[in-house]
Amino acid sequence: MRNIVEGDWVEALGEVNRRRFHISGYVVKIFEYELLVKLCKGKSTAVPKHWTKNLDVTITKDELKALIDFK
């Protein structure tokens, strides 16, 4: 599996206060310890890097615009 870059689709699995989180979306911005992930629902959230798994799919800016315009 390769490193995560902006535009990659990722899946995040984690647990906070005994609540499990399962998030999937594409990476908008990369920080030192977190990734800003845009969810399919249109919201964005920061996710710790160690929670994420790269799904080995990258979207282009044109595909991203098509997704946003579709909603």
- Residue 69 — very low, low, confident or very high, per pLDDT cuts 50/70/90? low
Average predicted confidence (pLDDT) for the chain: 83
> What pLDDT, on the 0 to 100 scale, is given for residue 68?
62
Burial annotation 22-34 (CB, 10 A radius, 16+ → b, else e) = ebebbbeeeeeeb
Is residue 2 in some structural domain? no
> What pLDDT, on the 0 to 100 scale, is given for residue 26?
86
Give which of 62, 55, 65, 64 is closest to 35, Cα–Cα. Answer: 55
What domain count does the chain have?
A: 1
pLDDT digits (tens, 9 = 90+) for 39-62: 877 789 999 999 898 887 767 777
Is residue 3 in some structural domain? no
Is residue 45 in some structural domain? yes
Is residue 18 in some structural domain? yes
Q: What is the CATH number of the domain that holds 18?
A: 2.30.30
Does this model's pTM top 0.75? no
- For residue 42, the enclosing domain spans 8-70
Residue 27 CB contacts under 8 Å (≥ 6 apart), including other chains: 4, 5, 6, 7, 8, 9, 10, 35, 36, 37, 38
